[in-house]
Amino acid sequence: MHAAHTAFLLGAGLFWTVAYLLLIRTGLRERTFGMPVVAFATNISWEFMFAFVRPPSGIGHVINIVWFTFDLAVGYTLVRFGRAEFPHLPDRLFLPALAALLLLAYPGMNYASEQFDEGASVLTAFASNLAMSGMFLAMLAARRGTRGQSPGIAVTKLLGTACASLTMLTDPDRDPRYDNALMYYLYIGCLVLDLAYVYAVFAVRRAGDTAHSGVPAAQGALRR
């Protein structure tokens, strides 16, 4: 059990690290950002909190610092290319709106952790992952194509979150607070939405999407 727990923990770190690298590479290559804006705000807030404010012990602390560093690079793609994704928002409002979102995200994440998880990272991690999985699907539909996204991102995101769920389930010292229906709902919900996202990305690609702009065939695939 200890070996399986460690393997899944390392797997979560590895697959999510690869997902970050693919998000950064794809964003730079396609001159866009690949992580939904609200997901980015909650994600970097969580990582800052549990990398520097209330860090865990052991390898989890190192993983959180690495992820925070990569999230800064994701943030660069958002700042550098994000205006083009919001054509109806005046350019002068883009950065203030993003700053306001970040300022709201951190205390919200902190209060949720303190109120519902006694300051720990588990509940906020899986709840934000569930929301993020839905946001990736919504972004795919909104862009009518896989601009800023790729099958590699979808698959590594799926595997990283699945490994995180299995890390919890195989923990020999699992806190009984996390052996409840809510946590199982979050595990299953993340898995279902991530599988849907993987399927949708591959379906759009099979329909002939170029990964740079939406086409009618891609729109048809999203409607199926």
The pLDDT tens digits for 36-58 are 999 999 999 999 999 999 998 88
Q: What percent of the chain has pLDDT over 90?
A: 81
Q: Is the pTM of this model over 0.95?
A: no
Inform me whether the pLDDT recorded for 220 exceeds 80: no
pLDDT at position 65: 94
- In this predicted structure, the answer to whether residue 73 has a pLDDT above a threshold of 80 is yes
Distance CA 26, CA 150 (A): 8
* Measured distance CA(188)–CA(78) in Å, rounded: 30
**Confidence check: pLDDT of 217 > 50:** no
Looking at residue 1, its pLDDT comes to 62
Q: State pLDDT tens for residues 82-138.
A: 999 999 999 999 999 999 999 999 999 999 999 999 999 999 999 999 999 999 999
pLDDT at 177 over 50: yes
